[in-house]
C-alpha cells in the first residue's frame, strides 16, 4: 500500500535536463509513483529517449518530451503551454538542467582563473542561473495562481563550498597541462541558493514551496579513474553517489511529506560539506 504522505500520484511534474544522468532518474522515480512527467531538454535525440525511457514509459500516457532551451523564454512558454493543455498546471518543477566543466575539458576552458574566458563564464551562468530563473518565473507564476506547487532547484556542493583544486592536480602531473575547476559553475550554483530563498519567501503565502537539493558528485564509468580515486579519498562516506540515491529526496520535496518546508537546502553529499 502506498504511503499517502509521500504520494505524488496524479501530480504533474516538469523535470528539466531529464535526458541527463540525474534528471532521468528523477523522472523515472516520479513516473513510477504515478506522476505525469514532462521532460524538458535542449535537444530531443531519439536515441537518448529510447535508451533512457522504456517503451512502457513512453507509451503509457504519463510521459511527454519537449524541446526547451531554458535560456530562451519562447521555448519555455511553448512547452509549458503544451503541458498545461494536456495535463493542467504543474504541481512539481525540478530545475535540474545545468552546465559544468568536466576534467576532460580542453585547456582553454579549464585553465587558471586569470585566463578564464568571459564568454564561457557568461554561458555557464546563463544556463545554470538565468535558465533556472526563467523556468521558475514561468511555471511558478501558474502554480501561485493555483495556490499550490513545489519547486526543487538542484544545487551543488561547489555552490556551497569552493572546489578542492588538489583533486585535479594529477592532470598536470600526467599531461603537463593543469586543470583548474572553473569559477563559473561555482558562482552560478551559489546564486541558486539565494534565488531559492527569494522565491520561497515571495510565494510562501501563495502555497508554492521552493527548496534546493544539493547533491555531490555522481559516479560515471567514463570518469577518469584518478579523479574518482582522489574524489573518494576526500569524501567522508568513501565513494561517489549512485545516480538513483537522490530519488528519495526528490519524492520528499515534491510530496506533502515536506509541506512545511520552504526556502531550505536539503544536502545529500556523502558528508562532503561536513569537513
CATH number at residue 250: 3.40.50.720
| Confidence band of 101 (pLDDT split at 50, 70, 90) | confident
Distances from the Cα of 35 to the Cα of 11, 186, 191, 218, angstroms:
5, 32, 30, 25
Q: Look at residue 153 and tell me if it is in a domain.
A: yes
Q: Look at residue 12 and tell me if it is in a domain.
A: yes
* CA gap 248, 252 in Å, rounded: 6
Q: Are 125 and 98 in contact (CB under 8 A)?
A: no
* CA gap 220, 215 in Å, rounded: 15
* CA gap 192, 256 in Å, rounded: 23
| pTM score, whole prediction | 0.96
User: Residue 2's pLDDT is what?
Assistant: 65
Q: Look at residue 237 and tell me if it is in a domain.
A: no
Query: What is the percent of the chain where pLDDT is above 70?
Result: 99
Using the predicted structure, report yes or no on whether residue 169 has a pLDDT greater than 60: yes
Q: Are 8 and 251 in contact (CB under 8 A)?
A: yes
Q: Pairing between strand 92-95 and 265-268?
A: unpaired
* CA gap 265, 211 in Å, rounded: 6
Using the predicted structure, report yes or no on whether residue 14 has a pLDDT greater than 60: yes
Q: Look at residue 176 and tell me if it is in a domain.
A: no
Q: Look at residue 120 and tell me if it is in a domain.
A: yes
- Domains in the chain, number: 1
User: Residue 1's pLDDT is what?
Assistant: 43
Q: Look at residue 172 and tell me if it is in a domain.
A: no
Predicted confidence (pLDDT) per residue in 177-218, tens digit? 889 999 999 999 999 999 999 999 999 999 999 999 999 999
Q: Look at residue 16 and tell me if it is in a domain.
A: yes
Residues in the chain, total: 275
Whole domain around residue 258: which residue ranges? Answer: 4-163+181-222+243-266
Q: Look at residue 168 and tell me if it is in a domain.
A: no
Amino acid at each position: 500500500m502506498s504511503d499517502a504522505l509521500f504520494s505524488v500520484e496524479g501530480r504533474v511534474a516538469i523535470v528539466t535536463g531529464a535526458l541527463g544522468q540525474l534528471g532521468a532518474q528523477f523522472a523515472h522515480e516520479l513516473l513510477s509513483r504515478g506522476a505525469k512527467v514532462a521532460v524538458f531538454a535542449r535537444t530531443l535525440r531519439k536515441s537518448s529517449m529510447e535508451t533512457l525511457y522504456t517503451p512502457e514509459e513512453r507509451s503509457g500516457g504519463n510521459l511527454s518530451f519537449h524541446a526547451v532551451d531554458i535560456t530562451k523564454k519562447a521555448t519555455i512558454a511553448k512547452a509549458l503551454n503544451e503541458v498545461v493543455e494536456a495535463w493542467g498546471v504543474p504541481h512539481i518543477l525540478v530545475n535540474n538542467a545545468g552546465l559544468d566543466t568536466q576534467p576532460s575539458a580542453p585547456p582553454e576552458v579549464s585553465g587558471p582563473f586569470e585566463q578564464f574566458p568571459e564568454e564561457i563564464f557568461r554561458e555557464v551562468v546563463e544556463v545554470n542561473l538565468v535558465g533556472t530563473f526563467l523556468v521558475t518565473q514561468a511555471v511558478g507564476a501558474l502554480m501561485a495562481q493555483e495556490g499550490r506547487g513545489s519547486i526543487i532547484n538542484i544545487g551543488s556542493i561547489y555552490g556551497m563550498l569552493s572546489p578542492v583544486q588538489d583533486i585535479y592536480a594529477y592532470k598536470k602531473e600526467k599531461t603537463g597541462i593543469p586543470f583548474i575547476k572553473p569559477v563559473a559553475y561555482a558562482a552560478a550554483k551559489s546564486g541558486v541558493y539565494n534565488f531559492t530563498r527569494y522565491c520561497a519567501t515571495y510565494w510562501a503565502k501563495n502555497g508554492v514551496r521552493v527548496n534546493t537539493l544539493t547533491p555531490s558528485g555522481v559516479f560515471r564509468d567514463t570518469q577518469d579513474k584518478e579523479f574518482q580515486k582522489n574524489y573518494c579519498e576526500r569524501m567522508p562516506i568513501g565513494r561517489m553517489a549512485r545516480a538513483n540515491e537522490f530519488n528519495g529526496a526528490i519524492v520528499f520535496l515534491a510530496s506533502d511529506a515536506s509541506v512545511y518546508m520552504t526556502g531550505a537546502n536539503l544536502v545529500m553529499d556523502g558528508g562532503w560539506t561536513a569537513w
